[in-house]
Structure 1
């Protein structure tokens, strides 16, 4: 058996190191022979270079693979100048290989140009010999779709891969043993592009056939197909997650992770990137299921792997490192570690800015998302001026993205507009704030009409915010209309998901009570406030209650006392104020250095109401309560 054939068999068994040794020996022989008789041996030399480049790439040595395949391509072009019919197929193959290695090195535009030339050559070859070249054309179309997708051109990628799938179905029907792997890969790509376009149900539907094919292939030849199976499981987990099926997503990614750990243990240079990606997905699904500590551990492991990879190949892995840092910032924030979250978010934004400068179509969405996260952390630290600048930039990016892909980016744009409105209002820019919140509200109405189960909660929240904002501007009638609509939506949600939504329902009732109070409808305002306090009392023993629960109940009690005093129900108002004071004391592990201004102010106002109404004894009691508060 020749050295070249021996290397091919070794490679087919996944023994790429051994294959490389054999082909390197063959290559040395052909170089010597080609010096004396180039007309006879240049073709063999070019084929050996092509094989060696493939084995180098399989071992993650993409720079070396690129050098080898460029040399082979130059030789094939020279040979084709004399015998075009014979060597055009070799040129097309070399161009396809060259594009793959360029892609692996992050040189997407160059990869796209090379594969377009390969597709054109293969189309011409198929026109003359379809049986011979249909599989090569299908493979080139698959590659072309990948490069288009990598450049953010998902619609074009989808069109190319549909053609490839059709071709592979025909080929696999005739020779399943040969082409089932290619069919599985092309269906997988089709699902990936559908997911990128927000067509989640279609994306998941496509995965079933591909998974069946990959499991069968991996069962027969695990060394060859375990990597493909694990890669596909990772993708399928993303489809489940996009549809909110996080338990299923977690199960799939755990299976993929087990496969990747085994693969990376044998060939870390090749599979550490996939391992990092799988761990990163695991952290995302754990977080979605409320398993925050496990999510943070996984995210840190992924980040460590990506740092090492990015240090060696920044062009390829800086994007993954940035994404990993964004995840870590979210998890740290969930644990209240806001300073660390802010540092990670800033590093992610800096990395994305560099990436956007080179490939805006691909990374603008990631930059927008990372800016939104940075906005939240800056807000938490009270750095409002910086936060406003950041959220404005995020809105501008999401506008451009939503104009091209509304299904994917309208939800993020609506959320960013809501955040922008909040900060514009805080800076006194009320007209701009009104424009932003109304635009967000219009978008949420449209989204909720299409997917009520997902977006009704956001629509209700947007209406609640609009109501609060209108109340601040003394537009109480309009505020009442907004919160009434929001409450109708939220009452339905609370009925379906009790007690998960009861706290938010209580907050919305507080907003309603404020609106009614401003309009002089005291009895209705009191009823709404009593219902809000009642809901919070019911939640008091719930260990899963929101972090802001205590502060909100405390303020609700203060508001309740105000509603009661408005109706001259002084004794009940005094009871509410005392409960608020006792609740405030219970919250403090140690007496605070300063009195609680909000409660002290409310108690003082309440005493004034009593005095004006001629209830001197009640006023004396409440002033005594105030003096106790000021000692806290």
Structure 2
């Protein structure tokens, strides 16, 4: 006859004791079929489901058992299942009832502790775990639960003792060793933590958390290879856990392997795109990866970083790291206005974070909003006087305002606070160089490069020191680093052709493109015949005002303006990379001279115009000025026609005191000399108040291009100019030119020379005291007196 429910339960219990869970479950299910009121059978079905990890399946049989008999053990089992299912509030209610029904039931106390801990009530959980351990002192799990909760509360010595007790009872328990390692790691008992994690891994090689925390231990001990190896093991063992992947990526990033960290972050994001920290950490890794590169590949990396930070902010608008890093990425990308807004938005949320003000200061400095930039830096230093970055940024602001002495003080404070700050040393070098302290500047650049051999700005600035002293071989080699400077990379990204290495071109077309200012282009077109001599068909690309002048230049096959698509070419080279190939020393200069010429027909047109112009005479002198035919005869009779240029682009980075007040030219306004204004742009307004006569060439000249300027120069005897494009044009034309330069001149005028190897027709007059032009123009006036006397004698 069929077995009774009682007999099936007895048989099922025997199978259960023998760990034959499927056979046991079959017997208990059959018992409930025989007798739906068999509480023991329902209880065991629920327990077996839990033992098999099927917690949802355990709920119904456990509740059926409780409906038949309100048992503390059943309530405790129900609480355990609910906790494992994440239904913690329900678990807390069941575990509380179980503990109330039977305060001496260890499992009830333990499950109540688990529910309390899951809800963040750690102190209450510790009390329950301690009670469970007292009720069942031989339970390793009870002591382990107590140890874990004490670790989370920071009671680390007590936690370690509880966990050691657990492991005395169960020495082969991998999780116990893992938890003991955590308690030791929190106390920075690193060798002891390492030993515990290693024991956990020996017992359970697939224990991902033990590998992850052993990686953290090795990281704290400075063992990079071991840290990375165990971090990678954790990620390999748990590839579907975004937090484990994030921890591995953070380890990679901490050891500078940002390129390797980025795809790990991306894999974690693919698993869970809702975690904001993943997106901003990816952005940070991409930014740091970009710092290690000196090519146009940094631009897409920064663009991806910006998108990552924006995604993080969309998920968590209150994530400070995302907003700060967004600003830094925009700043690195050259999007200064957007970066400014990002930092201002962050400051509105976190007004006490010093770094936000420092970074805002750099954005404002790049926008040349110097008073606001200084205020931001000072606020950063008010919040944190020891922030080296803020001192360095303040130095940048002061350099922008040409307050180099004060900038030096700020930079020295920055590197004193952070001697490993390569950018701070480079910035200090800039301030020293602009104080005409080249040797000290070079020492600062050397220090910067010792700290960061790939710092493009330091290489470029050191190149300027070497070029200034005439070391062209080293100087022009290092000058190539200008192409890797952050701002320049944005320009280089538009080109797809390879750079020319100077080899024979075999008749192929080469794009030679202008860079920097007009003067730089005029200086370097001298080398184009040498490019053509190496078998190249030269396509010259430059700004439109140079077109009419340079399309006629020797060596130019085709001229295209900036923004105009060039014809198909095999390779390219920026114009200022040509000296590296063709001017390895001063003896290689000047090559052919003059190497540009004015259009004869245009020169004739300007001669007629200049003869027909009246003089621009200051108010009060008009009654002495000849006009009409008298004016034309006066022009033709002028023994010496002298063009003057007194100002460059005053907002240019290279301005640094090169422009001169027009009033300083007064000593040149003497009998027998006719001054002609070739000035355009900044400084032109000074003509209206000049206390001496200057011929104003009018709107035809102001609206003209460099071909017009060359044509005007062809009708002059001499040009007197500050350091601007005019000196390069006049030098290229071979016109006698007197150049007035400040105490801190541009590198190309070398040191202490009165001549220029670049332009044989240029004579240099050097300022002796910063800002004092009187001595320069007194010397010019004396030289001019000799010239006019010689003309008169002739």
Q: How far is 1:391 from its partner?
A: 0.8
Q: Do the aligned residues in 2 keep the contact of 1:296 with 1:332 (CA within 8 Å)?
A: yes
Q: Do the aligned residues in 1 keep the contact of 2:364 with 2:372 (CA within 8 Å)?
A: yes
In the alignment, the residues of structure 2 paired with residue 213 and residue 222 of structure 1 have an alpha-carbon distance, to the nearest angstrom, of 13
In the alignment, the residues of structure 1 paired with residue 439 and residue 282 of structure 2 have an alpha-carbon distance, to the nearest angstrom, of 51
Q: How far is 1:170 from its partner?
A: 4.9
In the alignment, the residues of structure 1 paired with residue 222 and residue 757 of structure 2 have an alpha-carbon distance, to the nearest angstrom, of 45
Q: Which residue of 1 aligns with 2:246?
A: 326
Q: Do the aligned residues in 2 keep the contact of 1:368 with 1:394 (CA within 8 Å)?
A: yes
Q: Do structure 1's residue 258 and structure 2's residue 198 form an aligned pair?
A: yes
SS, match of residue 112 in structure 1 = coil
In the alignment, the residues of structure 2 paired with residue 88 and residue 328 of structure 1 have an alpha-carbon distance, to the nearest angstrom, of 46
Q: Do structure 1's residue 20 and structure 2's residue 15 form an aligned pair?
A: no
Q: Which has the larger radius of gyration?
A: 2
Q: Among 286, 292, 297, which residue is 2:229 paired with?
A: 297
Q: How far is 1:561 from its partner?
A: 0.9
Alignment of 1:260-409 (within 5 A): 260-264=200-204, 272=206, 275-288=207-220, 290-307=222-239, 318-319=240-241, 322-333=242-253, 337-353=257-273, 356=274, 364=275, 366-368=277-279, 370-373=281-284, 376=287, 381-383=298-300, 384-399=302-317, 402=318
Q: Do the aligned residues in 1 keep the contact of 2:425 with 2:444 (CA within 8 Å)?
A: no
Q: How far is 1:122 from its partner?
A: 4.9
Q: Do the aligned residues in 2 keep the contact of 1:92 with 1:119 (CA within 8 Å)?
A: no
Q: Do the aligned residues in 2 keep the contact of 1:415 with 1:440 (CA within 8 Å)?
A: no
Q: Which residue of 1 aligns with 2:682?
A: none
SS, match of residue 120 in structure 2 = helix
Question: Over aligned residue pairs, what C-alpha RMSD do you find?
Answer: 4.9
More helix by share: 1
In the alignment, the residues of structure 2 paired with residue 396 and residue 621 of structure 1 have an alpha-carbon distance, to the nearest angstrom, of 62
Q: Among 751, 757, 760, which residue is 1:618 paired with?
A: 751
In the alignment, the residues of structure 2 paired with residue 557 and residue 256 of structure 1 have an alpha-carbon distance, to the nearest angstrom, of 51
What is the number of equivalent residue pairs in this alignment? Answer: 477
Against the structure 1 CA distance between its residues 212 and 623, is the aligned structure 2 distance closer, same or farther, given a 3 Å change threshold?
A: farther
In the alignment, the residues of structure 2 paired with residue 158 and residue 491 of structure 1 have an alpha-carbon distance, to the nearest angstrom, of 39
Q: Do the aligned residues in 1 keep the contact of 2:276 with 2:315 (CA within 8 Å)?
A: yes
Q: Do the aligned residues in 2 keep the contact of 1:138 with 1:164 (CA within 8 Å)?
A: no
Q: Which residue of 1 aligns with 2:127?
A: 166
In the alignment, the residues of structure 2 paired with residue 593 and residue 518 of structure 1 have an alpha-carbon distance, to the nearest angstrom, of 22
Q: How far is 1:124 from its partner?
A: 4.5
| TM-score, length basis structure 1 | 0.60
Deviation sequence 1:382-433 (CA, Å, 0-9, x none): 224332222122123333xx5xxxxxxxxxx333222222345567876664
Against the structure 1 CA distance between its residues 162 and 369, is the aligned structure 2 distance closer, same or farther, given a 3 Å change threshold?
A: farther
Q: Which residue of 2 aligns with 1:222?
A: 171
Q: How far is 1:510 from its partner?
A: 3.9
In the alignment, the residues of structure 1 paired with residue 142 and residue 758 of structure 2 have an alpha-carbon distance, to the nearest angstrom, of 78
Q: How far is 1:299 from its partner?
A: 1.7
Alignment of 1:351-500 (within 5 A): 351-353=271-273, 356=274, 364=275, 366-368=277-279, 370-373=281-284, 376=287, 381-383=298-300, 384-399=302-317, 402=318, 413-424=319-330, 433-438=339-344, 440-441=346-347, 446=352, 459-484=353-378, 486=380, 492=386
In the alignment, the residues of structure 1 paired with residue 466 and residue 41 of structure 2 have an alpha-carbon distance, to the nearest angstrom, of 84
In the alignment, the residues of structure 2 paired with residue 285 and residue 98 of structure 1 have an alpha-carbon distance, to the nearest angstrom, of 34
Q: Which residue of 2 aligns with 1:232?
A: 179
In the alignment, the residues of structure 2 paired with residue 5 and residue 345 of structure 1 have an alpha-carbon distance, to the nearest angstrom, of 50
In the alignment, the residues of structure 2 paired with residue 121 and residue 574 of structure 1 have an alpha-carbon distance, to the nearest angstrom, of 75
Against the structure 1 CA distance between its residues 336 and 220, is the aligned structure 2 distance closer, same or farther, given a 3 Å change threshold?
A: closer
In the alignment, the residues of structure 2 paired with residue 144 and residue 345 of structure 1 have an alpha-carbon distance, to the nearest angstrom, of 33
In the alignment, the residues of structure 1 paired with residue 481 and residue 282 of structure 2 have an alpha-carbon distance, to the nearest angstrom, of 37
Q: Among 28, 32, 35, which residue is 1:38 paired with?
A: 35
SS, match of residue 299 in structure 1 = helix
| TM-score, length basis structure 2 | 0.49
Q: Which residue of 2 aligns with 1:455?
A: none
Query: Runs of 5+ in structure 2 lacking a partner?
Result: 1-9, 292-297, 447-460, 489-514, 521-653, 659-722, 725-738, 760-794
SS, match of residue 214 in structure 2 = helix
In the alignment, the residues of structure 2 paired with residue 574 and residue 137 of structure 1 have an alpha-carbon distance, to the nearest angstrom, of 75
Query: Runs of 5+ in structure 1 lacking a partner?
Result: 11-18, 57-61, 104-110, 150-156, 193-202, 241-246, 266-271, 308-317, 357-363, 403-412, 447-458, 494-504, 540-544, 627-632
Q: Do the aligned residues in 2 keep the contact of 1:464 with 1:486 (CA within 8 Å)?
A: yes
Against the structure 1 CA distance between its residues 137 and 388, is the aligned structure 2 distance closer, same or farther, given a 3 Å change threshold?
A: same
Q: Which residue of 2 aligns with 1:497?
A: none
Q: Among 56, 62, 75, which residue is 1:92 paired with?
A: 75
| Higher RCO (CA < 8 A, seq sep 6+) | 2
